[in-house]
C-alpha cells in the first residue's frame, strides 16, 4: 500500500475538529500533528475532541515543533479569515517545504484583498518547490466553484444569477453572530451593530463577483452592492440568549450585480437569517443551506443545491480535505480554488 500523506491540522475549531475526525477514517491521509493556541494544549487530540480514543497526537501551540516534528507533507490552516493574520504560520510552513491548504476567506481571491502579500507568498512557495491552495470558506463552492462548473456545460452565457440562503438559527448563541447581524434590533437601530457585518459581507461579495467574472472572461465596468436587513414577521424564541420580535432584524441580504457592457451579467443574492422559510418560499424548517444557480444562455441551466448535516453546513472543509492528493502533484506556487482548481469553465 502506498504511504499515507502526512497532514498537520492547525486550528481545532469547528472545521478543524471535523477535519481530524474525518482524517482518522481515511486510508490515504494521516493526521500527524494538531496545533491550537486555545484548545487542549498538551492533551491528546482524541481526548480534546471527545473521540473516546487516544490518537497519540498531542495538541501543541509551538509552531516550530509542529512544522519540524513529524515531517508533514501538508499543513491545513483552518484558523482565521484574513491573510495578514495567518501569514506568519503560512510562511514558516512553506519555507520548511510543506504544502499549505487553507480555508481562510480572503484566500479565495487573495489578489483582491492583499496583492503584495499574495505575490510574496507565491514566491516563497515557488522558491521552496511547494504549493499553497486557498479554498476560501463557505460560500466558496456555492458562489464561485459551482457556477463556474456549470458554465463549462453551456455554449455561452448571457447572465448568471445566484440565490443563496443560509440558516443562522444554530448560531443564535454566538455573541459575534448576534452582534454582526443585529439580531433583535429594529431597522432604525442597525447603524453601529449591523455595519460591521454589512461591510464584511459586501467586501466579500464584491471579491466573489470580480473573481467569478474574471474566470468567466467577463470584463466588468462596475460592481453594485447593497446590504439590507431582513426583518422577521414572527416572534422567534430560538435560543436562550436571543428573542426576536416581529419587526426586528433576523438577518441580512447582500444584493450584488456585476456590470459588463452596461448589462448585469452576474447577479448574486446572498442571504443569511434565523428563519429562512420566511424569506424563501419552500425553504424547509430544518437548519440547512440552500442555493439556486440559473445560467441564462445556450442552453439554459438551472441547478439547486442544498446541504444538511448534524455537524454543520459547510462544504469547504471536505473540499479542502479532498484537495490533499491534488496538492501533492500540483505545480509550485499559490493556487486558488477557482482559478487553479482542476475544473473547466466556458471558453470564449
Residue 22 in the binding site for its own copies (CB under 8 A): yes
Rounded Cα gap, residues 293 and 312, in angstroms = 22
Name the phi and psi angles at 272, rounded to 5: -145, 130
For residues 90 and 100, is the Cβ–Cβ distance under 8 A?
yes
Of positions 312, 330, 332, 333, contacts its own copies by CB under 8 A: 312
Check if the beta carbon of residue 29 is closer than 8 Å to that of residue 321. Answer: yes
Which residue from 326, 330, 332, 339 is in contact with its own copies, where contact means CB under 8 A?
Answer: 326
Query: All 3 cell numbers of residue 16?
Result: 478543524
Q: Smaller CB distance to its own copies: residue 100 or 321? A: 321
* Helix ranges (DSSP H) in 105-253: 110-113, 115-127, 146-151, 175-181, 190-216
Q: Which stretch binds its own copies (CB under 8 A): 72-80, 110-118, 193-201, 319-327?
A: 319-327
Kindly state the smallest distance separating residue 270's Cβ from its own copies, in Å: 18
| Rounded Cα gap, residues 96 and 90, in angstroms | 10
CB of 156 to its own copies, least distance (A): 7
Q: Is 220 in the site for its own copies (CB under 8 A)?
A: no
CA nearest neighbour of 305 among 149, 158, 102, 200 = 149
CB atoms within 10 A of CB 281: 6
> Interface mask (CB under 8 A) for its own copies, residues 23-62, using x and -?
--xxxxx---------------------------------
String of contacts with its own copies for each residue 138-177, x by CB under 8 A: ---x-------x--xxxxx---------------------
Options 32, 209, 230, 324; binder of its own copies; rule CB under 8 A: 324
Q: Where are the extended beta strands (E) located within 14-126?
A: 29-35, 59-60, 74-77, 99-102
Measured between alpha carbons, how far is residue 164 from residues 112, 202, 215 in Å? 22, 14, 20
Q: How far is the CB of 178 from its own copies (least distance, A)?
A: 25
Residue 264 CB, nearest distance to its own copies (Å)?
21
303 binds its own copies (CB under 8 A): yes
C-alpha cell at 27: 486510508
Q: Which residue has the cell 483552518?
A: 78
Contact between 218 and 258 under an 8 Å Cβ cutoff? The reply is yes
Site for its own copies (CB under 8 A): which residue of 189, 301, 332, 333? 301
Q: Interacting stretch for its own copies, rule CB under 8 A, among 37-45, 83-91, 177-185, 322-330?
A: 322-330
Q: Could you tell me if residue 150 is left (phi over 0), alpha (psi between -120 and 50 degrees) or otherwise beta?
A: alpha
**Binder to its own copies among 64, 298, 328, 331 (CB under 8 A)?**
298
∠ Cα 76 336 251 (to 5°): 80
Q: State which residue, 96 or 163, has the beta carbon closest to its own copies.
A: 163
Q: Which is nearer to its own copies, 133 or 227 (CB)?
A: 133
Locus of grid cell 460592481: 223
Size of the site for its own copies (CB under 8 A): 47
Min dist CB 338 to its own copies, Å, is: 13
Q: Applying CB under 8 A, which residues contact its own copies?
A: 18, 22, 25-29, 141, 149, 152-156, 298-309, 311-313, 315, 317-319, 321-326, 341-348
Amino acid at each position: 500500500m502506498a504511504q499515507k500523506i502526512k497532514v498537520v491540522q492547525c486550528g481545532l475549531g469547528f472545521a478543524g475538529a471535523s477535519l481530524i475526525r474525518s482524517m482518522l477514517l481515511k486510508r490515504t491521509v494521516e493526521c500527524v500533528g494538531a496545533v491550537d493556541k486555545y484548545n487542549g494544549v498538551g492533551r491528546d487530540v482524541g481526548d480534546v475532541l471527545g473521540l473516546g480514543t487516544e490518537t497519540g497526537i498531542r495538541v501543541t501551540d509551538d509552531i516550530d515543533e509542529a512544522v519540524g516534528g513529524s515531517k508533514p507533507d501538508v499543513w491545513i490552516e483552518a484558523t482565521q479569515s484574513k491573510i495578514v493574520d495567518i501569514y506568519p504560520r503560512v510562511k514558516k510552513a512553506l519555507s520548511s517545504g510543506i504544502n499549505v491548504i487553507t480555508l481562510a476567506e480572503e484566500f479565495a481571491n487573495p489578489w483582491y484583498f492583499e496583492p503584495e502579500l499574495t505575490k510574496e507568498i507565491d514566491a516563497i512557495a515557488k522558491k521552496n518547490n511547494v504549493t499553497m491552495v486557498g479554498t476560501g470558506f463557505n460560500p466558496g463552492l456555492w458562489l464561485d466553484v459551482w457556477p463556474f462548473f456549470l458554465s463549462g456545460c453551456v455554449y455561452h452565457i448571457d447572465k448568471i444569477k445566484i440565490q443563496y440562503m443560509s440558516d443562522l438559527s444554530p448560531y443564535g448563541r454566538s455573541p459575534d453572530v448576534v452582534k454582526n447581524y443585529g439580531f433583535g434590533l429594529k431597522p432604525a437601530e442597525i447603524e453601529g451593530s449591523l455595519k460591521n457585518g454589512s461591510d464584511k459581507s459586501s467586501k466579500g461579495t464584491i471579491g466573489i463577483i470580480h473573481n467569478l467574472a474574471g474566470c468567466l472572461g467577463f470584463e466588468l465596468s462596475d460592481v453594485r452592492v447593497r446590504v439590507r436587513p431582513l426583518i422577521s414577521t414572527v416572534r422567534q424564541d430560538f435560543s436562550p440568549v436571543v428573542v426576536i420580535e416581529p419587526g426586528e432584524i433576523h438577518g441580512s441580504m447582500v444584493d450584488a450585480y456585476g456590470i459588463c457592457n452596461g448589462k448585469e451579467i452576474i447577479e448574486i443574492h446572498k442571504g443569511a437569517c434565523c428563519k429562512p422559510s420566511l424569506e424563501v418560499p419552500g425553504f424547509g424548517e430544518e437548519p440547512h443551506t440552500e442555493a439556486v444557480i440559473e445560467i441564462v444562455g445556450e442552453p439554459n441551466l438551472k441547478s439547486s443545491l442544498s446541504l444538511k448535516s448534524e455537524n454543520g453546513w459547510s462544504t469547504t472543509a471536505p473540499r479542502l480535505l479532498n484537495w490533499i492528493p491534488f496538492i501533492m502533484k500540483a505545480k509550485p506556487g499559490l493556487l486558488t480554488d477557482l482559478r487553479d482548481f482542476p475544473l473547466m469553465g466556458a471558453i470564449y
